[in-house]
Amino acid sequence: MASKTFRVAKIIFKRSQPYFCPVINGRSYSTAITSGDNEPSFLDSVQIYFNKAAKISGVSEKTLSHIKAPDCSLQVTFPIEVDDDKVEILTGYRVHHSRHLLPVKGGIRFSPGVDEQEVAALAALMTYKCAIVDVPFGGAKGGISIDPKKFTLAQLERITRRYTVELCQKAFIGPGVDVPAPDMGTGAREMAWIMDTFRQFHPNDVNSIGCVTGKPISLGGVRGRNEATGLGVYYGVREFLSYPVVQKATGLSEKIEGKRIVIQGFGKVGYWAAKFFEKNGAKIIGIGEKDCGAYNPNGINIEDLFTYLVKAGTFQGAPNVDIIDDTLKILELDCDILIPAALERQINLGNATKINAKIIGEAANGPITPAANDILIEKGIIILPDLLLNAGGVTVSYFEWLKNLSHMRFGRMTKKWDELGKSKLVELVENNAGRQLTESERKSIVQGAEERDLVYSGLEDTMVAACQETKSTAASKNIDFRTAAFVNAIQKIANVYEGSGIMFMT
C-alpha cells in the first residue's frame, strides 16, 4: 500500500442547533429541518421524538438543551489505494453525543449512506439507549461512507486500520474514553482489526482489548454478543406481548407460538431475531433484503434461506419461497409483528397507511419517520421503539467490556463451586425423598452457568426491566411507548448532569 500524505480532520465541539418548524400532513414538527423528500432528516426525527418527551419530562430547559446537543464531532478524510494507479479519498466520522458518563459507546457503520447527520442521530440514540438499559456509558457513533461490498478484504482491512489510526490520534477511542462496536456493514472481523491497531498505539495498556466490543471470542469477545441484539428484540417483543394493554390494543395473545412475523434486513440483527422467533414457535412469513423479498405464508426455514443468501448473494432462485421483486412491499405484508432490521426511514409518508402489522418492533435504528409514527399510532399499531428494543447489543457489549477489564471469562470462578453446592442439595433431597434423580434430571439441576448462560440471563433481565419501566411510564403519563422510553432516558441522564454538577447549577 502506497502511503499518501493527504489527510484532513475536523473536530467540532458542542454547539447549538438551528431549528425550523415544518408542517407535514397538517401537523407541525417543531425543531425539524426537512430533508429533500419533505420529511425530517434522521437527526431531526430523533430530535422531534426527544422534544415531545422533553416537554413532559419535568427536566429544566437548561439541562434539556445540554442533553440534546452533541458534545463533539470528528470528521476525517484519508486516501486509500484501490488499485495500482487509483486512489479514493474516503470520509469517516465519529460523534460523541454525550460524555456525561465515560466511556462513550456506539457502533461503527460502513455504508454509502453514512454522513454527519446520520452519525449524529445514531450517537444521540446511543445516549438514550444506554440510559434506558442502565448501561453506564455515554453515547457515540461512527462510520465511513463506503459500500463495503465494493472493496477487497485487504482494502477493507486497510480502511478500517486507517480510520482507527485517525481515532487514536484524536483520542476518540480507548477503553476509558470511547469503545466502538459493530453496526451495519461491520462485524467481529473489523473489531479485531480495530483492537490490533489500537494496541500498536498503546502497547503497555493492560486494558487495551477493552477499546472495542463485538470482537471474536478468541480475541476477548464475549459469548452471546453476536446474537445479542436479535435476542434482545425477541425478549422485548415477548415481554410486551405479555402486557394486557398490548393484547387489548392488538387482539393478539401473549404466545409467541404461531405469530406471523415479517422481517426487513437479514443481516446480523435480522438473522438472529428470526432465529429466536422461529425457535420459539413463530412463523417468519416474509424477509426483505436489499434487492428483493422472500415470502412463504407457512413459515420460512431461516437457516436454509440464510445459507442460500450467503452462497447466492440474493433470495432470487431460493427454494420454498415466493420472491417479491419490489423489496419495500415486504413492509406492507399482512402480519402480526413487523420487524424492520435494516435502515432508517423505511416506513414513511409513502407507505405508512399501507402497513398491515399489529405490532412494529424497531430492531433497526430510526426505521419510522415522525409523520409515519403518528399515522401508525392513529391506525392502532403498537410501536416498540428502537432505543429500547434494540438495546440488547449495547447491553452485552457492556458485559464484554466488563469481561475485558476483569481479564476473566464470566463463570470461571463460580461454575464448579455452584455445581458442588447444588450436588450436595440434590443428594439431600434424594435421601429424604427416597428416589434417585435420572442422569438428565440431575444434570439440568446441578449444571453450573457457562459464560453464555450468564450473558443470556443478564440480557433477559435487563430487557424485561427496561420494558417494564417503559410500560409503567407510558401508563402513568398516558403516552406511547416511544415517548415513555425517551422520558425515562431524559430523566436518568438529567440526574447525572444535575447531580454531578456538570451543569454548574445555581
Residues that bind ligand NAD (CB under 6 A): 182-185, 229, 264-270, 288-290, 327, 341-343, 363-365, 390, 393
Minimum separation from the CB atom of position 182 to ligand NAD (A): 5
- Report d(CA 99, CA 158) in Å as an integer: 29
Q: Are 306 and 284 in contact (CB under 8 A)?
A: no
Closest separation in Å from C-beta 393 to ligand NAD:
3
Chain centre to alpha carbon of residue 141: 11
- C-alpha cell, 227: 446474537
Rounded to the nearest 10 degrees, how much is the dihedral formed by the CA atoms of 391, 397, 398, 402? 160
The yes-or-no answer on residue 141 being catalytic is: yes
Q: Whose Cβ is closer to ligand NAD: residue 57's or residue 264's?
A: 264
- 106 close to 141: Cβ distance less than 8 angstroms: yes
Q: Tell me the closest approach of the beta carbon of residue 416 to ligand NAD, in angstroms.
A: 32
Q: Indicate the residue among 391 and 494 with the shorter CB distance to ligand NAD.
A: 391
Q: Is 470 annotated as a binding residue?
A: no
Q: 22, 45 in Cβ contact below 8 A?
A: no
Which single residue brings its beta carbon nearest to ligand NAD?
267
Say how far apart CA 90 and CA 112 lie, in whole Å: 11
Residue 337 or 341: the one with the smaller Cβ distance to ligand NAD is 341
Q: What 3 state SS string does 451-474 have?
A: HHHHHHHHHHHHHHHHHHHHHHHH
Closest CA to 362 of 348, 341, 345: 341
Please report where in the chains the cell 471470542 appears, as a residue. Answer: 217
Q: Name the residue nearer to ligand NAD (CB basis): 173 or 331.
A: 331
Among 4, 10, 52, 141, the active-site one is: 141
CA distance 319 to 16: 54
**Is 379 a known ligand-binding residue?**
no
CB nearer ligand NAD, residue 175 or residue 185: 185
Q: Closest distance between ligand NAD and the C-beta of residue 410, in Å?
A: 19
Annotated binding residue 129 = yes
The span from the CA of 53 to the CA of 67, in Å, is 13
Q: How far is the CB of 266 from ligand NAD (least distance, A)?
A: 5
* Contact by Cβ (8 Å): 452, 223: yes
Known binding-site residue numbers for NAD(+): 229
Instruction: List, as residue ranges, the binding site for substrate.
Output: 105, 129, 397
* Active-site annotation, residues: 141
